[in-house]
Amino acid sequence: NAGVMQNPRHLVRRRGQEARLRCSPMKGHSHVYWYRQLPEEGLKFMVYLQKENIIDESGMPKERFSAEFPKEGPSILRIQQVVRGDSAAYFCASSPRWDQPQHFGDGTRLSIL
């Protein structure tokens, strides 16, 4: 039973480019969460999605960031016009129900040149 799969593991972008981060939840999990970890800090919640629905996006920056979890395929976190401050580790987690512990992927480390 594969765990939460995130790709790419490392992503390098230049300022102004777009970054797309992908997350495939564990089999049987329909709840997906995205967190961001800046250096020397804890994980910060960004967004919570179920299939085709955004349930809670209260942690998402108002501009340039968007997330989706389509009926088919992985969840995508999209960052447009990246800036240096977007450099961080982005973690995806999934759970089978909203009240079950979240299981995390190994993250995507985004570096902005």
Partner 1 sequence: DQQVKQNSPSLSVQEGRISILNCDYTNSMFDYFLWYKKYPAEGPTFLISISSIKDKNEDGRFTVFLNKSAKHLSLHIVPSQPGDSAVYFCAAKIETSGSRLTFGEGTQLTVNP
- Cα dihedral 3, 21, 110, 81, rounded to 10, equals -170
- Rounded Cα distance between 1 and 96, Å, is 14
* Binding to partner 1, residues 9-68 (CB under 8 A): 31, 33, 35, 40-45, 48, 55-56, 58-59
- Which span sits near partner 1 by CB under 8 A: 11-19, 61-69, 73-81, 96-104? 96-104
- Rounded Cα distance between 107 and 103, Å, is 12
Joined together, the tokens standing for residue 48 give: 């919570």
Our CB check for partner 1 shows the closer of 4 and 79 to be 4
Binding site for partner 1 (CB under 8 A): 4, 6, 31, 33, 35, 40-45, 48, 55-56, 58-59, 91, 93, 95, 98-99, 101-107
